[in-house]
Amino acid sequence: MVEGKISQMKKTSLRALPEKNLAKFQSQQTGNDCAIHSLAAAIELLTNVRLDPQEIIDEVNRIWWRGRFFRLAPKAGITPPLQVRLLRHLAKKHNLPLKAKLFHLSPDLLRTTAEAENIASLVTIYWWFSHSPAIYYMDRPKNYNALKGASGHTMVFAAYDPEHFSGEVHTSWGFINSWVTQGAGLFWMEDKEFQKSWGIPIPHWGKNATVVISYKDLNKS
């Protein structure tokens, strides 16, 4: 029943933008900062305000020592609840009409978030030792996530295309990812691999954790 429903899901993308346009929001991480790069991409996508990820990184590392926690430790990971907290901090600091909330979405609901003009969704995937999910770039057959250790990774959900392939691999889920600066296209995952890694139940914030960032036009009543 679930597989049938997924197979019927229609093609969509954030703001109906083509892949090459969505790719322009990508910036390359150099440390354990995928969530910050994802937040910066979502902010620019929704508000046209470009924040420098490195400036955010430096700030959150510095103020951690002052008891303001937006990551687990300096240079450490940023969990979905902390992503919400950091987005609210950045919105207040830069006077951005944005809000964020943590949800646990089904794949179909995640897909529908791309159809809303004022929403961007951050997803975090996880994997155990020697079980990293394959992530492909555009239509290339190479797996760019051949890590052997246990880890996690945050990306911006950007597109769903039931007819997309990377080489001979059917990759229907597309993401704005922090493994390249801009680039010519998105990063893609197989449906089974994405659902498995996104669906790992992590204590305290559950499975299918999705940080939904929404924009409110203050000029509208």
Query: Which among 88, 199, 185, 85 has a CA at the least distance from the CA of 152?
Result: 199
What local confidence, expressed as pLDDT, does residue 218 receive? Answer: 60
What pLDDT, on the 0 to 100 scale, is given for residue 5? 46
Q: Residue 15: pLDDT above 60?
A: yes
Does the structure show a pLDDT above 90 at 108? Answer: yes
Residues 162-197: pLDDT tens digits? 999 999 999 999 999 999 999 999 999 999 999 999
What share of the chain in percent tops pLDDT 90?
84
Write out the two tokens for 34: 């995928």
Residue 10 lies in a domain: no
Residue 169 lies in a domain: yes
The answer to whether position 48 is within a domain reads yes
Residue 149 is predicted with a pLDDT of: 83
Answer for the pair 150, 158: CB distance below 8 angstroms, yes or no. Answer: no
Specify the pTM. 0.93
Q: What are 125's two structure tokens?
A: 């995937």
Does 24 fall in a domain? yes
Query: pLDDT by residue (tens digit) across 49-84?
Result: 999 999 999 999 999 999 999 999 999 999 999 999
Question: Is 87's pLDDT higher than 70?
Answer: yes
Take residue 183 and report the two structure tokens written for it. Answer: 């680039």
- Across residues 12-28, what is the average pLDDT? 96
Mean predicted confidence (pLDDT) in 89-118: 96
Domain CATH for 211:
3.90.70.10
- Determine the average pLDDT of the residues in 33-50: 98
As a whole number of angstroms, the distance between CA 211 and CA 101 comes to: 6
Domain that holds residue 206: 18-215
Q: Is 185 left (phi over 0), alpha (psi -120 to 50) or beta?
A: beta
Does residue 135 contact residue 144 with C-beta atoms inside 8 Å? yes
pLDDT of residue 221: 44
pLDDT at 110: 97
The answer to whether position 1 is within a domain reads no
In the chain, which residue ranges form alpha helices assigned H by DSSP? 2-7, 19-23, 34-47, 53-64, 80-93, 107-113, 191-198
- Whole-angstrom Cα distance, residue 68 to residue 35? 17
Percent of the chain with pLDDT over 70: 95
Q: Is 98 exposed, middle or buried (0-12, 13-18, 19+ CB in 10 A)?
A: buried
User: What mean pLDDT is reported for the chain?
Assistant: 93
**Considering the domain boundaries, does residue 205 fall inside one?**
yes
Q: How many domains does the chain have?
A: 1
The pLDDT, as a whole number, for residue 220 is 58
pLDDT of residue 150: 86
Q: From the DSSP assignment, how many helices (H) and strands (E) are in the chain?
A: 7, 10
